[in-house]
Amino acid sequence: MKRLFITLSIVALTLPSLADNVKATIHADQAGAKINREIYGQFSEHLGSCIYGGLWVGENSQIPNIKGYRKDVFEALKALKIPVMRWPGGCFADDYHWMDGIGPKDQRPSLRNNNWGGTIEDNSFGTHEFLNLCEMLGCEPYISGNVGSGTVKEMAQWVEYMTSDGDTPMARLRRQNGRDKAWKVKYFGIGNEAWGCGGNMTPEYYSNEYRKFNTYLRDQGENHLYRIASGASDYDYNWTKVLMQNIGRQMNGISLHYYTCSGWEGPKGTATNFDNDQYYWALAKCLEIEEVIKKHKAIMDEIDPENKIGLLVDEWGTWWDEEPGTIPGHLYQQNALRDAFVAALSLNVFHKYTDRVKMTNIAQVVNVLQSMILTDQEGKGHMVLTPTYHVFEMYTPFQEATYLPLDLESEVKAVSRGYYKEKKKDLDEGYRPCPLLSASAAKTQDGSIVLAITNVSLDKDQTIDFNIAGFNAKTVSGRILTSKEADDFNDFKHPNVVAPKAYQDAKLNKGVLTVKIPAKSIIVLNIK
């Protein structure tokens, strides 16, 4: 990483002296809400090589596959215990007509992906292929319906096709296409980004469209849809307010999109070639999602005090420039240790608000943006797990665990909001706080405690003393994710540059857990 570090300022909040260990308390006697496993959700859009070449290669591919699904990718996703997967978009969803993706593959019409590079797709991956994949992975499907360019009839028929076990026209068509028993489909999104690529609507107009479409999305038999409204982007709190007021009684959840991104105009910076200021900028930007969630949550709490409507962050993650030499519009980017920190910090925030945050979906599962997995773009069958994948795998014990409040002292760095300071030549955009330490704790179903600790400092190791109130800790074990540099990444020739290793620098003494955490590290511990 370039050594161009410019110190902006450092703010000390309850900063201990150099001779003292950092103090922390895990309140094991103050259990919070359950951490819904759906917070570890994934997102698969028809974008670049996420679907074709990522999840799907077809039954006749020379790349090893299971019924057309890449074997190596499938097995890697299975190990993550994926709880839910969103499909087919994203912006693609409001251009997608589902009937083009059913029936014999050689009879399905091709389509042009107008949103992402103009790529021609053969529609070989459609409703059957997605829902069968979810069954094989043991995860809930999350379908995004087409409000932008679709019709009420089209969406209603799709729900019937997927979920009706009766003698209905769409159920008969499904059986004709080789699937006798209906699928279970819980999550259904009525449109995507209605404020932008999903129709450029106002919140008032979308509310009326939602009412219309929702009226005809009838539950089939025992399949009950969890109905999700197309919610806000980032800081658009008015969108949330209008939807909560106008359609709050007709929805089960409302979405929120938030990306760690320097902006939509001009370059976004590279995934692997960044200086120290840009490194801290990304972490401060990702942590700002806590303030964003709190403000959207406050609106929802006022209108829905009984907490019946879930907040779903169904698109989140980093967004950098595409890798040189890749197809424009396919959003293929590398994934460095920095991205792993964004994942860990974001998940720590989601855990805190799991009373309202019922699902999140990182963008995206394979080959796109902050992905779990990268596959080669030449069709040679190479695959690599990203640092972000390893965070999700290390964090799996948090799924369905009970959140435990935690107090942690930390040095806080003030980071300029401006990403390209060398171009803007000013620091007048204000600052964001970036705590160097972050942690999250939960009690698992077997009674143990899982504890995740992140030290994002580039150069300062820390020793933390955790007092575990209300828990008799006897043993501790864990793993650590770190690397020499924050811009280190895994590629096909070097797949294990950033990978978890056993961690043994945690000690228990009279109820106090002492953890030595190096700079640029993520540690996950199991305490029994």
- In-domain check, residue 441: yes
Please state, in angstroms and rounded to a whole number, the distance separating the CA atoms of residues 49 and 54: 6
Please state, in angstroms and rounded to a whole number, the distance separating the CA atoms of residues 151 and 433: 45
- Looking at residue 463, what is its pLDDT? 97
Measured distance between the N- and C-terminal CA atoms of the chain, rounded to whole angstroms = 39
- As for how many domains the chain has, the answer is 1
Q: Can the peptide bond before residue 199 be classed as cis, meaning omega within 30 degrees of 0?
A: no
From 193, 322, 393, 409, active-site residue: 193
CA angle 73, 74, 77 (to 5 degrees): 85
- Looking at residue 264, what is its pLDDT? 85
- Looking at residue 24, what is its pLDDT? 97
The CATH code of the domain that includes 511 is 2.60.40.1180
Query: 450 and 441 in contact (C-beta within 8 Å)?
Result: yes
Q: pTM for the whole thing?
A: 0.94
- Looking at residue 417, what is its pLDDT? 87
From 315, 393, 409, 411, active-site residue: 315
- Looking at residue 428, what is its pLDDT? 55
Q: What DSSP letter does each residue of 459-519 carry, written as one string? A: S--EEEEEEEET-----EEEEEEE-SSTT-B--SSSTTSS--EEE--EEEETTEEEEEE-S
For the stretch 191-232, pLDDT in tens is 999 999 999 999 999 999 999 999 999 999 999 999 999 999
- Residue 481 structural domain: 9-32+405-527
Residues 6+ apart with CB under 8 A from 156: 216, 217, 218
Query: 230 and 204 in contact (C-beta within 8 Å)?
Result: no
Does residue 472 sit in helix, strand or coil?
A: coil
- In-domain check, residue 222: no
Quick one: which of 232, 170, 160, 165 has its CA closest to 203?
Answer: 232
Helices 289-303 and 237-247: crossing angle in degrees, nearest 10, is: 30
Rounded average pLDDT per 10-residue block, the chain, 528 residues = 34 46 95 95 97 96 95 97 97 97 96 93 97 98 98 98 97 98 98 98 98 97 97 98 97 98 88 95 97 98 97 98 94 97 98 97 98 86 95 98 96 86 55 96 96 98 95 96 98 97 95 96 98
Sign of the CA dihedral running 9, 13, 18, 22 = negative
CA 132 to centroid of chain Cα atoms: 22
Residue 353 parent element (H or E): none
Q: Is 315 a catalytic residue?
A: yes
- In-domain check, residue 55: no
- In-domain check, residue 461: yes
- In-domain check, residue 424: yes
Residue 417 parent element (H or E): none
- In-domain check, residue 89: no
Query: 284 and 418 in contact (C-beta within 8 Å)?
Result: no
- In-domain check, residue 454: yes
Q: Is 291 a catalytic residue?
A: no
- In-domain check, residue 156: no
Query: 38 and 453 in contact (C-beta within 8 Å)?
Result: no
Query: 323 and 259 in contact (C-beta within 8 Å)?
Result: no
